[in-house]
Structure 1
Amino acid sequence: MTDDIIEVDLDDPRFRIKPYQQMMASCTGALVTSIFVTPLDVVKIRLQAQQKAMLSNKCFLYCNGLMDHLCSCGNGRGPEWLRTNGKFNGTVDALVKIGKREGILSLWSGLSPTLVLAIPATIVYFVSYEQLRLFLKDNYNRRFVQDSLRKEQPFWIPVVAGGTARIGAATLVSPLELIRTKMQSQKLSYAEIRQALKTVIKYSGFSGLWMGLSSTLLRDVPFSAIYWFNYESLKKIFRNVQHTFTFNLIGGAVAGSIAAFCTIPFDVVKTHRQIEMGEKEIYSDKPGRTSSTFTIINRIYKQNGIRGLFTGLTPRLVKVAPACAIMIATFEHGKRFFQARNANEVLGLEPNVQILRYKYDNT
């Protein structure tokens, strides 16, 4: 005897997962993603930092998957890893040198403090996106769609929801990132961090707590808008195909790759600006503003040409594709898990009844 099956619309108001369920799904996604993609992000940032280190030996930017880390060199001779490994000649060369000379675990160094900030930021981002997307979709259908059984989602909804959610998440975590950077770089105790924050506010005002936010938004908001537009478009194009874990993996990888390629110059600018900001924060008692985006782009272009604006493109694509794939597939899988529970509760289904097919919408 075979189990009975039913078809469920993921956006059906009766079965929608609750915010706390979205939080659990996104938290799981962040943990799984960080473990898999951290080594690739380490390589990407080190290649970009290597370019900057040729010009400044004070500070370099280090990222291990989900968050950026500003590190001081201390002795003025450049980053320790650059002196140990020498110049990297590409993605594979960097992976081999780091693993061989620093130990394989160095590819996951700093993961714990990163997750402290990355998980809350990821939760805020994904929950905000889902809530805003559904809010805009419901309002649009109430006002412009006459057929109550037909649900539409215009292309602009994921663009607006994705960009807005990223602004909120980045703005929320920015002051916390500044505090963590100062504690790590200057080895401050929790008691001393209050004085450090007073110094920042004294010379830069309260807005100083969000130094570097503009460069983060310059990269992340377009990336988020492009990513969600492409991902939701793929779901709509293949709405008659079962949206399995594999489908979401492929969709996330494609959407993430396109967004990463379009925003790589902004990623390079963000790296350079954060390094410049870090040098001022770490080595000066009077932190100041960093160079403008146009100034940094002009400087990179003069020194390295157009190729300089695409530094780290290959490792960024190699990292972003699996990162987006794993994150969205895990998140969607979590959504389906809670969707099934909610449907079972609402419909009073027997244990042998399976929800086999998940529709995107009725368009």
Structure 2
Amino acid sequence: MDKNTDAVETNDGRTGNGITPVQQMISSCSGAFVTSVFVTPLDVIKIRLQSQKKPLVKGQIFQYCNGLMDHVCVCAVNGGSSLSPAPECPWYKRPIPKPLTGTADAFFKILKYEGVASLWSGLPPTLVMAIPATVIYFSCYEICRKKLGYHGGLEGSDWWKPMIAGASARTLCVTVISPIEMIRTKLQSEQLSYNQIWKFLGQSIKTGGVTMLWKGLGPTLLRDVPFSALYWLSYESMKARVLLQRGKSKMTFAESFTAGAVSGTIAGILTLPFDVIKTHRQIELGEVLKENKNTTRSTWKLMMKMQAEHGYHALFTGLVPRIIKVAPACAIMISSYEYFKAYFREQNRLNNS
């Protein structure tokens, strides 16, 4: 067996990189969990600031991201005011006695008036999808790149292998998660019971076919697949250079963190137009759920509409916020993943010595 094979199971139950499949899963989950813990408060604060400037009304669509995945959320209630708060007001509409003046002000006021747990509002249900998706993604990447014969460097003709592996892993991950996200959006939008959801799905499949479960998949793939391909190309390239220059077998946590941040920034900038289209398409999904017949369903037509109404620069809006979120999320994810893989590999080596 090739000693460099990472994701092929050996006779002793370990994968080719010296860790077991369970340890591989734990490494993936650790990155997802750590990323969520650090990035979720940033998006909670962002949504609270935005809703203060333009209050959310019932049925309005907004986007939520925990650093791992983007989610379409639908405002379920009209909420209250700072003088007469609504009972059981959801986290994104909770009133604060004084207006929020900025990120730091929002952070400290939420802590003071609502408690530390409020900064991680909505995290548990998101992790239900995000952690399995991360396990699928990293495991598939490891398998694909080794099946392609990638040996840890970009010399010769190996440069394309991380790209194909990353694109393949993301395609599988997004395809598996897409129907779950659609169901979650429907649950949020109309507060339906699970029995009602099953009836809705059955009726929708009868009228529109089983493919309706993957509505909006195209724009998501247009953004996520190129991002993943560019990310892994950049990361593996930097990793190969660092290991070659330093003569080491693995990168330090700081080196992995930096390489992840730089790779995420590069991929985020180059795929920004796809991210803009995906956001607009997600909003359209919410309108479709409300049975608005005037929404644009074609990705190409939506791009042309945006260009005609706002110019080409509209496809490159939101660069700074995207990079501020993507760079640290990618850095935390990959450095945590690499750290735990190295940790388990060393523990296994010591146990066998």
Q: What is the 5 A alignment of 1:241-252? A: 241=246, 242=248, 243-252=251-260
Q: Report the alpha carbon displacement of residue 317 of structure 1 after superposing the two structures with TM.
A: 0.5
Contact kept in structure 1, 2:91 and 2:118, CA below 8 Å: no
Contact kept in structure 2, 1:40 and 1:318, CA below 8 Å: no
Residue aligning to 1:69? 72
Residue aligning to 1:133? 145
Contact kept in structure 1, 2:175 and 2:214, CA below 8 Å: yes
Q: Report the alpha carbon displacement of residue 98 of structure 1 after superposing the two structures with TM.
A: 7.4
Task: Specify the SS of the correspondent of 1:16.
Answer: coil
* One-letter amino acid of the structure 2 residue matched with residue 245 of structure 1: F
Contact kept in structure 2, 1:249 and 1:328, CA below 8 Å: yes
1:20 aligned to 2:32? Answer: no
CA distance in 1: counterparts of 2:280 and 2:49, whole angstroms: 12
Task: Specify the SS of the correspondent of 1:321.
Answer: helix
CA distance in 2: counterparts of 1:127 and 1:115, whole angstroms: 18
Contact kept in structure 1, 2:59 and 2:189, CA below 8 Å: no
Q: Report the alpha carbon displacement of residue 304 of structure 1 after superposing the two structures with TM.
A: 3.6
CA distance in 2: counterparts of 1:263 and 1:109, whole angstroms: 29
Q: Report the alpha carbon displacement of residue 52 of structure 1 after superposing the two structures with TM.
A: 11
Residue aligning to 1:148? none
More relative contact order in 1 or in 2 (CA 8 Å, sep 6+)?
1
> Which deviates more from structure 2 when the two are superposed, residues 300-309 or residues 242-251?
300-309
Contact kept in structure 2, 1:257 and 1:320, CA below 8 Å: yes
Residue aligning to 1:327? 333
CA distance in 2: counterparts of 1:72 and 1:177, whole angstroms: 16
Q: Report the alpha carbon displacement of residue 27 of structure 1 after superposing the two structures with TM.
A: 0.4
Task: Specify the SS of the correspondent of 1:232.
Answer: helix
1:236 aligned to 2:240? Answer: yes
Residue aligning to 1:223? 227
Residue aligning to 1:146? none
1:296 aligned to 2:302? Answer: yes
Task: Specify the SS of the correspondent of 1:62.
Answer: strand
Residue aligning to 1:305? 311
Q: Report the alpha carbon displacement of residue 94 of structure 1 after superposing the two structures with TM.
A: 5.6
- The percentage of aligned residue pairs carrying the same residue is 47
CA distance in 2: counterparts of 1:244 and 1:93, whole angstroms: 35
5+ residue gaps in structure 1? 1-7, 142-150, 350-363
Residue aligning to 1:164? 168
Contact kept in structure 2, 1:162 and 1:224, CA below 8 Å: yes
> Which deviates more from structure 2 when the two are superposed, residues 191-200 or residues 155-164?
191-200
Going from structure 1 to structure 2, the CA distance change for 1:206 and 1:229 (only over 3 Å counts) comes to same
Contact kept in structure 2, 1:215 and 1:266, CA below 8 Å: yes
Going from structure 1 to structure 2, the CA distance change for 1:115 and 1:182 (only over 3 Å counts) comes to same
Task: Specify the SS of the correspondent of 2:282.
Answer: helix
Going from structure 1 to structure 2, the CA distance change for 1:50 and 1:134 (only over 3 Å counts) comes to farther
Residue aligning to 1:260? 268
Q: Please give the root-mean-square deviation of Cα atoms over the aligned residues, in Å.
A: 3.8
Residue aligning to 1:40? 42
Residue aligning to 1:279? 287
* One-letter amino acid of the structure 1 residue matched with residue 229 of structure 2: A
1:204 aligned to 2:208? Answer: yes
- TM-score relative to the length of structure 2: 0.78
Contact kept in structure 2, 1:64 and 1:108, CA below 8 Å: no
CA distance in 1: counterparts of 2:324 and 2:227, whole angstroms: 16
Going from structure 1 to structure 2, the CA distance change for 1:320 and 1:291 (only over 3 Å counts) comes to same
CA distance in 2: counterparts of 1:198 and 1:155, whole angstroms: 45
Task: Specify the SS of the correspondent of 1:70.
Answer: strand
Going from structure 1 to structure 2, the CA distance change for 1:344 and 1:11 (only over 3 Å counts) comes to farther
Residue aligning to 2:31? 29
CA distance in 2: counterparts of 1:119 and 1:288, whole angstroms: 36
Q: Report the alpha carbon displacement of residue 57 of structure 1 after superposing the two structures with TM.
A: 7.5
CA distance in 1: counterparts of 2:185 and 2:209, whole angstroms: 18
> Which deviates more from structure 2 when the two are superposed, residues 56-65 or residues 98-107?
98-107
CA distance in 2: counterparts of 1:201 and 1:53, whole angstroms: 35
CA distance in 1: counterparts of 2:196 and 2:104, whole angstroms: 37
Contact kept in structure 1, 2:51 and 2:92, CA below 8 Å: no
Going from structure 1 to structure 2, the CA distance change for 1:154 and 1:344 (only over 3 Å counts) comes to same
Task: Specify the SS of the correspondent of 2:271.
Answer: helix
Q: Report the alpha carbon displacement of residue 268 of structure 1 after superposing the two structures with TM.
A: 1.2
Task: Specify the SS of the correspondent of 2:301.
Answer: helix
Which string of whole-angstrom CA distances, capped at 9 and with x for unpartnered residues, describes residues 278-331 of structure 1? 1211x23x9998522222223333444344322321111011111111100000
CA distance in 1: counterparts of 2:50 and 2:160, whole angstroms: 33
Going from structure 1 to structure 2, the CA distance change for 1:180 and 1:57 (only over 3 Å counts) comes to closer
CA distance in 2: counterparts of 1:52 and 1:309, whole angstroms: 23
* One-letter amino acid of the structure 2 residue matched with residue 266 of structure 1: F
Q: What is the 5 A alignment of 1:159-198? A: 159-198=163-202
